[in-house]
Amino acid sequence: MPYNIPSDINRAVVLVVRMDYESISSSPAMLASVPTAVGYSRLVVIELMLAQSIEDMGYRAVVCGNDVALSVPLVIDAGLGQYGRHGLLITPKYGSYVRIGTVLTDMPLGPDGPDMEFCESVIRFCEVCDKCDRHCPFQAIPYEREQTWEGVCRSNDPGVKKWYVDVEACHGYWLDNGTDCSNCNCIRSCPYNKPDAPAMRMLRHVILWSTKYVPALDRPVVALDDLFGSGWQIPPPLA
């Protein structure tokens, strides 16, 4: 059934919450499903509190979760991140291991804008980085360097220049694995993801700085990330 959103509800407040890095790193093990549930549960509480606050100020609010609006384009417009080759959001602070929520409202908020410097650096980096497609067991992520305007399956929404993921093949992997979208090695393997250990935080800052200002180092950065062992599965502890 369609959602009937009044046309004067024309603002969106977007939220991202971080998932647990160690659990995501166990993908495709079952443990990697836990951060998804925890992330969306946290978002429900935050979104409801935010919506209630907006309504207390005399405006309307519609809690969307991650399903009423196109979440990633809204987050890009809010200046919080950019699409990656894997079709997911990449944020400067948390990489890809985030979950997204949205609250629509008629509150006359001043809009933000995309962080074009970060957006352009992500596109350049994803053009040369192939870690997510190398780690994808169903080869659902495109190997091509260039972005396109055309989808690759009927579930894509064409007309935007980006990398299109075969999301039907991806969903088939979830079903075969008996898990959900945290059990995707593309999240685990993205070089923008780093744990909170001091050495890894330093590596993340190096990646963010070099991809913005010295794109010629993008390929060496991918090699350095592999050298550090980033993105490979960390087997979950035995119960």
Is residue 33 within 8 A of residue 183, CB to CB? The reply is yes
| Domain annotation covers residue 234 | no
| Residues 192-225 pLDDT 10s | 988 877 777 788 888 899 999 999 999 999 998 8
CA–CA separation, 164 and 3 (whole Å): 26
pLDDT number for residue 69: 84
| Domain annotation covers residue 75 | yes
| Domain annotation covers residue 50 | yes
| Domain annotation covers residue 208 | no
Q: Which is nearest to 36 in space by CA: 231, 201, 184?
A: 184
| Residues 59-104 pLDDT 10s | 999 998 878 888 999 999 999 999 999 999 999 989 998 999 999 9
pLDDT number for residue 173: 82
**Domain interval for residue 73:** 11-105
Angle at CA 197, nearest 5°, toward 85 and 118? 35
Domain count, the chain: 1
> Any idea which of 2-16, 32-46, 133-147, 166-180 has the lowest mean pLDDT?
166-180
Mean pLDDT of 177-186: 75
Residue 34 is encoded by which pair of tokens?
């836990």
| Domain annotation covers residue 87 | yes
| Domain annotation covers residue 83 | yes
Better pLDDT: 51 or 188? 51
